[in-house]
């Protein structure tokens, strides 16, 4: 097998040698413009696609493919979206060298342009089809620039979503129309200086005055100042304020209120104070601000009352009596954010990989022997493993992001728990994957990865926020484990079969992994599912035993879970990675022919690289060292097999070439002196 790979590699090298000898033609003067190291495009260094790229692209995007192309077309039409034109190519990107205020102003103008183009029609309509439609538009916006999608997302998803889901008819009637057409501009004031992930701890206090039937919102101290509020620094006119509600001296927990913060001329309203969050490592197109409320009065009707209400005479009313349950029901709609973030993360990993792989198919470095031509980066086995394992993961995660979106779009109340656990685990897994992928791709592009116009390096800074907003990733993974543990312990206690988010297989016997792992078995999907189930099950059983052991020695359960963090973190990861495999398989199984075959290769590389990199299999004896060595080698073999398909696979990701940095195209032409603006 290795020998075979070697011959293939050699044949390729000779082919490349021919390419290069044609491409290398020494010349005299730089002014003649005939380079000696000619740009040979990735296409010339790749095989023809063996599968239908358009079909694969539709599969990756999942829905609304035409709409996506329409959004890209709209952006191409307006200079607001153009970074630079070199010869006949216009590159679409925000300019990350712009000043803070330029970036903010341009981002707003881009949102308004897309509104004027009708892209947000129905954006605050609560229907599955509409959710997917809006998602497609937002995914294209994020491909252009994260600030653009976040700026619009704060207004439509956070402010608009709060009106839709926390509010009732009175709010819908009054606020949804001006929200859709952006005649008001909303923001979402939940986070405070002193409290982020722990929303229950926020310190803003709201009381009720029956005499005037108004709520009085107050920032009692500096740590209660609202912080990171997107849109607050400059553009927002209204906000949703999250606040402790005190009624008759009793605290009823966190509730949300509508409050105007600026008038239609942009003047800050009385009682409101605002400051800028200032320059950030990325997302500078979003004007994050801080807000203080000095006993600001809002009408009683401004309480978003889907879960609880206050009567005109000041009685607190809620159908949900338990404060914990009420808080849970109240915050449930916030899962939208995690769904959207998980999806956006995968798309950015696609941008990074499309860039780095195209560059790796057009850039050479070092000769193996002095008389040979330099080797194409992607023909280095090490480079293949760096990038192709991440490409395989991105494909599988793309399937899981699409599945999550569908589950979320067509959700029923019974799905609440599944969505909470799934969105938590996938948000954490996919955003970490994105940052890792962007970092690896930046390094794989060398110095070119550092130029912001090439995007790949800048993506890290733009998307880093995903790791901690809408729930810190580590906290989310612990929440996943907590939910699985609770279900497991409850089944144990009740001596009933376990029913949980995909844990039903645990009611069957523990599988046995064969000692001899051949390539065929390693690439068998049933075996792969078993392998990832085995890890999840083992970690869950270990976590339960570990926590119970600590409890039996006198540690309170919450602290015991805290101390078992090592297992809990790994369990969250194991859960999410297994979910990704299952989603990928669902997609794969609906295909036929070469497309199915290639998805199978990607799946195998996904699973085996996950197993290869996870310390858990060996640490807990789920695999022997011999087995793990075979898997390690199989990862390299799969990378070799996927190499000829690398270009077709990145072309299928649905990222138009002009939305990638110039480094993904003819970078020698792009850098030619004649194309320099004076």
Looking only at residues 274 through 293 of this chain, which bind a second copy when binding is defined by CB under 8 A?
275, 277-283, 290, 292
Which of residues 49 and 449 has its CB atom nearest to a second copy in the complex? Answer: 449
| Least distance to a second copy, CB of residue 590, Å | 34
Q: Which is nearer to a second copy, 43 or 95 (CB)?
A: 95
Q: Is 157 exposed, middle or buried (0-12, 13-18, 19+ CB in 10 A)?
A: buried
How near is the Cβ of 132 to a second copy at its closest, in Å?
A: 30
222 binds a second copy (CB under 8 A): yes
Could you say whether residue 96 binds a second copy (CB under 8 A)?
A: yes
What character string, x for contact with a second copy (CB under 8 A) and - otherwise, covers 420-449? ---------------x---x--xx--xx-x
Torsion 460-463-468-473 (CA) sign: negative
Q: Considering only CA atoms, which of 651, 656, 639 is closest in space to residue 51?
A: 651
Measured distance CA(334)–CA(278) in Å, rounded: 26
* Rg, the chain, Cα only: 27
Q: How far is the CB of 280 from a second copy (least distance, A)?
A: 5
Task: Please choose, out of 90-98, 119-127, 260-268, 391-399, the segment that lies near a second copy by the rule CB under 8 A.
Answer: 90-98
Strand extents, DSSP E, 285-389: 288-293, 296-299, 308-310, 316-318, 364-365, 375-376
Among the listed ranges 135-143, 311-319, 331-339, 457-465, the one in contact with a second copy (CB under 8 A) is 457-465
Whole-angstrom distance, CA of residue 332 vs CA of residue 338? 11
Minimum CB–partner distance for residue 480 and a second copy (Å):
14
Handedness of CA 408, 413, 415, 420 (dihedral sign): positive
- Residues numbered 156 to 185 that lie near a second copy (CB under 8 A) are none
Q: How far apart are CA 533 and CA 498, in angstroms?
A: 14
Binding to a second copy in span 101-160, by CB under 8 A: none
Residue 165: CB minimum distance to a second copy, A:
24
Q: Does 36 bind a second copy (CB under 8 A)?
A: yes
- Whether 576 contacts 481, CB under 8 Å: no
Which part of the chain contacts a second copy (CB under 8 A), choosing from 194-202, 404-412, 422-430, 642-650? Answer: 194-202
- In the list 15, 450, 486, 492, the residue contacting a second copy (rule: CB under 8 A) is 450
> How far apart (Å, rounded) are the C-alpha atoms in residues 558 and 233?
39
Which of 188, 469, 488, 575 binds a second copy (CB under 8 A)? It is 469
Beta-bridge partner residues of 209 = 214
Count CA atoms closer than 13 A to 3's CA, side-chain side: 0
If one asks whether residue 460 binds a second copy (CB under 8 A), the answer comes out as: yes
* Identity of the residue, 181 or 222, whose beta carbon is nearer to a second copy in the bound complex: 222
How many angstroms separate the CA atoms of 569 and 35, rounded? 53
Residue list 552-591, contact with a second copy (CB under 8 A): 553-556, 558-559, 562-563, 565-566, 569
Residue of 27, 112, 268, 486 that binds a second copy (CB under 8 A): 27
Token digits of residue 486: 């609770």
Nearer to a second copy, 252 or 669 (CB): 669
632-635: long-range contacts, CB 8 A cutoff, minimum separation 24: 634/519, 634/522, 634/523, 634/604, 634/608, 635/385, 635/389, 635/605, 635/608, 635/609
Give residues 340-399 in contact with a second copy (rule: CB under 8 A).
365-369, 374, 380-382, 385-386
Return the closest-CA partner of residue 358 out of 87, 44, 56. Answer: 44
Rounded distance between C-alpha atoms, residue 315 and residue 150, angstroms = 38
Q: Could you tell me the smallest distance in angstroms from the CB atom of residue 232 to a second copy?
A: 14
Sole window of 86-94, 121-129, 273-281, 498-506 interacting with a second copy (rule: CB under 8 A): 273-281
Residues 632-661 that bind a second copy (CB under 8 A): 632, 636
Helices (H), 614-662: 616-619, 625-642, 646-651
| 536 has catalytic annotation | no
Task: Report yes or no: 367 and 375 within 8 Å, Cβ to Cβ.
Answer: yes
The residues facing 64 across adjacent strands are none
Scanning the structure block, which residue is given the tokens 């602290």? Answer: 559
Span of 64-72, 312-320, 338-346, 473-481 interacting with a second copy by CB under 8 A: 473-481
Q: How far is the CB of 404 from a second copy (least distance, A)?
A: 23
Q: Cα-flanking dihedrals φ and ψ of residue 468, to 5°? A: -125, -15
**Stretch 601-630 residues interacting with a second copy (CB under 8 A):** 612-613, 615, 618-621, 625-626, 628-629
- Taking the C-alpha atoms of residue 61 and residue 346, their distance in angstroms, rounded to an integer, is 11
311 annotated to bind ligand:
no
Minimum separation from the CB atom of position 446 to a second copy (A): 5
Here the tokens at position 318 are 């809620």
- The answer to whether residue 249 forms part of the interface with a second copy (CB under 8 A) is no
Site residues for a second copy, 485-514, by CB under 8 A, read none
Stretch that binds a second copy, among 25-33, 128-136, 401-409, 502-510 (CB under 8 A): 25-33
Q: Is 85 annotated as a binding residue?
A: no
Does residue 213 touch a second copy according to CB under 8 A? no
Regarding 83 and contact with a second copy (CB under 8 A), the answer is: no
Considering only residues 41 to 80 of the shown chain, the ones binding a second copy according to CB under 8 A are none
CA distance 619 to 357: 34
Cβ nearer to a second copy, comparing 556 with 594: 556
**Comparison of 131 and 292: residue with beta carbon closer to a second copy:** 292
Q: Site for a second copy (CB under 8 A): which residue of 22, 109, 198, 311?
A: 198
Q: What is the largest CA-CA distance in the chain?
A: 91
Among 506, 509, 515, 497, which Cα is nearest to 541's?
A: 506
Residues 470, 536, 573, 577: which is the catalytic one? 470
Give the residue numbers annotated as catalytic, written as ranges.
470
Residues of the binding site: 191, 230
Residues of the binding site for FAD: 191, 230
């Amino acid at each position: 097998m290795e020998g075979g790979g070697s011959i293939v590699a050699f044949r390729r090298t000779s082919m490349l040698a021919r390419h290069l000898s044609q491409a290398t033609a020494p010349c005299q003067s730089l002014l003649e413009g005939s380079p000696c190291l000619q740009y040979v495009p990735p296409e010339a260094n790749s095989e023809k696609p063996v599968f239908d790229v358009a079909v694969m692209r539709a599969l990756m995007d999942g829905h609304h493919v035409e709409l996506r192309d329409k959004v890209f077309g709209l952006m191409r039409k307006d200079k607001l979206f153009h970074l630079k034109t070199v010869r006949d190519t216009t590159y679409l990107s925000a300019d990350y060298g712009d000043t803070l205020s330029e970036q903010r102003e341009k981002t707003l103008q881009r949102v308004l342009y897309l509104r004027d183009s009708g892209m947000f029609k129905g954006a605050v309509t609560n229907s599955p089809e509409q959710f997917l439609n809006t998602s497609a538009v937002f995914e294209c916006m994020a491909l252009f620039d994260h600030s653009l999608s976040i700026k619009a997302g704060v207004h439509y998803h956070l402010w608009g979503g709060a009106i839709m889901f926390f509010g009732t008819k009175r709010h819908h009637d009054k606020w949804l129309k001006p929200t859709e057409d952006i005649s008001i501009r909303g923001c979402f004031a939940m986070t405070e200086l002193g409290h982020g992930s722990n929303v229950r701890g926020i310190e803003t206090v709201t009381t009720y005055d029956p005499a005037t039937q108004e709520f009085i919102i107050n920032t009692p101290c500096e740590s209660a100042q609202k912080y990171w509020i997107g849109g607050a620094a400059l553009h927002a006119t209204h906000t949703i304020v999250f606040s402790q509600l005190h009624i008759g001296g009793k605290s009823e927990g966190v509730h949300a209120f509508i409050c105007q913060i600026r008038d239609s001329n942009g003047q800050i309203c009385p009682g409101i104070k605002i400051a800028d969050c200032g320059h950030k490592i990325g997302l500078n197109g979003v004007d994050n601000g801080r807000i203080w409320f000095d006993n600001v009065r809002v009408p009683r009707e401004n309480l978003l009352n889907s879960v609880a209400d206050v009567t005109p005479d000041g009685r607190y009313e809620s159908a949900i009596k338990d404060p914990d349950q009420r808080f849970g029901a109240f915050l449930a709609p916030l899962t939208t954010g995690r769904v959207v973030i998980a999806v956006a993360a995968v798309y950015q990993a696609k941008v990074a990989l499309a860039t780095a792989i195209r560059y790796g198919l057009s850039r050479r470095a070092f000769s193996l022997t002095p008389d040979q031509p330099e080797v194409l980066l992607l023909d280095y086995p090490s480079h293949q493993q760096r990038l192709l394992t991440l490409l395989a993961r991105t494909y599988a995660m793309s399937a899981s992001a699409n599945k999550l979106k569908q589950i979320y779009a067509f959700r029923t109340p019974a799905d609440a728990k599944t969505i909470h656990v799934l969105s938590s685990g996938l948000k954490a897994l996919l955003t970490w994957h994105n940052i890792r992928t962007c970092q690896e791709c930046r390094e794989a592009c060398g110095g070119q990865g550092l130029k912001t116009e090439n995007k790949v390096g800048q993506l890290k800074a733009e998307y880093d926020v995903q790791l901690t907003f809408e729930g810190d990733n580590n906290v989310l993974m612990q929440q996943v484990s907590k939910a699985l543990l609770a279900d497991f312990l409850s089944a144990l206690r009740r001596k009933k079969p376990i029913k949980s988010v995909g844990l039903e297989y645990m009611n069957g016997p523990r599988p046995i992994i064969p000692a001899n792992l051949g390539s065929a078995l390693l690439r068998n999907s049933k075996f792969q599912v078993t392998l990832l189930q085995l890890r999840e099950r083992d970690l869950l059983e270990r976590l339960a035993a570990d926590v119970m052991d600590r409890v039996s020695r006198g540690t309170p359960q919450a602290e015991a879970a805290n101390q078992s963090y090592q297992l809990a973190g790994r369990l969250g990861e194991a859960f999410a990675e297994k979910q990704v495999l299952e989603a990928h398989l669902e997609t794969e199984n609906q295909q036929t022919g070469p497309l199915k075959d290639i998805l199978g290769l990607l799946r195998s590389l996904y699973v085996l690289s996950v197993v290869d990199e996870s310390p858990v299999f060996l640490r807990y004896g789920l695999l022997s060292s011999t087995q793990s060595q075979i898997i390690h080698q199989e990862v390299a073999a799969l990378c070799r097999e996927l190499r000829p398909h690398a270009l077709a696979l990145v072309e299928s990701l649905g990222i138009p070439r002009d939305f990638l940095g110039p480094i993904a195209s003819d970078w020698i032409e792009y850098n030619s002196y004649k194309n320099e603006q004076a």
